[in-house]
Structure 1
Amino acid sequence: MARLRRTPPHDLTPHARALYDKITAGPRGTFMVDPEGGLTGPFNAMLRSPPVGDALQELGAAVRYRTVLSDRARELAILVVAGHHDSAFERAAHEPIARDLGFTDDQLQALRDGSPLSLPEDEQAVLDVARALVARGDLDDDEYAKLEESVVFELTTLVGYYTTLALQLRVFRV
């Protein structure tokens, strides 16, 4: 059972309403809005602390929409985190995106359960690094060398962001 009530926009404080408007006006649009107007997923919790919630959603927008990672690499890493943390919400939100990017049902299943997956070399490097990050929170020298430093930076940031969301989704029973 969810621990947070979804608050319709007309019941929000002015600061929470400003954040709500920012989230729903951005590229996520109304995808994260329920029929009564409340935010779903991790965004509902962000409204409880607008200054921190705003910073967090800005980071999320950056790792989703403004990185050097390809769309497939980004979704691959997100689904590694979702699988590792058994985050049903993130799987439900990102598997359709991955499917539209050409991931097969077998590949999505392998991402859910952490089983071996064979991908093109650049995507395999992202998979290996993302799996190492969620499993150990670190990279050995060989894993570190698989990707350019800018990609390692963005990938560690993305994994950290989605790990934070997985934690919040679990704690707030989303």
Structure 2
Amino acid sequence: MARLRRTPPHQLSPEARALYEKITSGPRGRFMVDPAGGLTGPFNAMLLSPPVGDPLQELGAAIRYRSSLTDRARELAILVVAGHQDSAFEQAAHEPIARDLGVTEEQLQTLRAGSPPALADPAEAAVVAVARALVAKGDLDDEEYAVLGERALFELTTLVGYYTTLALQLRVFRV
């Protein structure tokens, strides 16, 4: 059972309402609103503390829409974290995106099971391997560190940390 009530926008404080408007007006907004207007997923919890929730959602937007990782590589990495964290919400939110990007049902099943999927693109395989090492060990050995360039590695470690944070919040708040 969810621990947080989804608050309709007209019942939010002005600060939380401003954050609500920011989230719902962006590209993620149409997917994160329930029929009564409350935010779903991790965004509902962000309204509890707009001074923390706003930078957190901004980080997510940067990861999703402004990083150098390809869309497929990003979604594969998100699903590595979701599988490792057993985050049903993130799996449900990101598997359709991955499907639209050509990720197969077999590859999705493999990710759900915590194994590396067969990928034709070596760059995507490298992202998945590094993401798997990060969630398993929280660190990389020298060989794993050298697989990606430093910019991609910075963005990937940020992605893994962000989605791990969301998985924790989703679990604690029973979303």
Shorter-chain TM-score range: over 0.9
Match of 1:112 in 2: 112
Q: Distance in 2 between matches of 1:125 and 1:142?
A: 11
Q: Distance in 1 between matches of 2:123 and 2:21?
A: 37
Match of 1:125 in 2: 126
Q: Distance in 1 between matches of 2:163 and 2:32?
A: 16
Tell me the SS of whatever aligns to 2:29: coil
Match of 1:134 in 2: 135
Q: Distance in 2 between matches of 1:87 and 1:40?
A: 14
Match of 2:166 in 1: 165
What CA RMSD, in Å, does the superposition of the two structures yield over aligned residues?
Answer: 0.6
* Structure 1 stretches of 4+ moved >6 Å: none
Task: Name the aligned partner's letter for residue 15 of structure 2.
Answer: H
Displacement of 1:116: 3.6
TM-score, normalised to structure 2, is 0.98
Range with greater deviation from structure 2 (112-121 or 137-146): 112-121
Q: What percent of counterpart residues are identical?
A: 80
Tell me the SS of whatever aligns to 2:165: helix
Q: How many residues of Structure 1 are paired with residues of Structure 2 in the alignment?
A: 174
Structure 1 unaligned segments of length 5 or more: list them: none
Displacement of 1:107: 0.2
Q: Distance in 1 between matches of 2:30 and 2:122?
A: 36
Task: Name the aligned partner's letter for residue 49 of structure 2.
Answer: S
Structure 2 unaligned segments of length 5 or more: list them: none
Match of 1:29 in 2: 29
Q: Distance in 2 between matches of 1:116 and 1:159?
A: 16
Displacement of 1:125: 0.4
Q: Distance in 2 between matches of 1:143 and 1:7?
A: 44
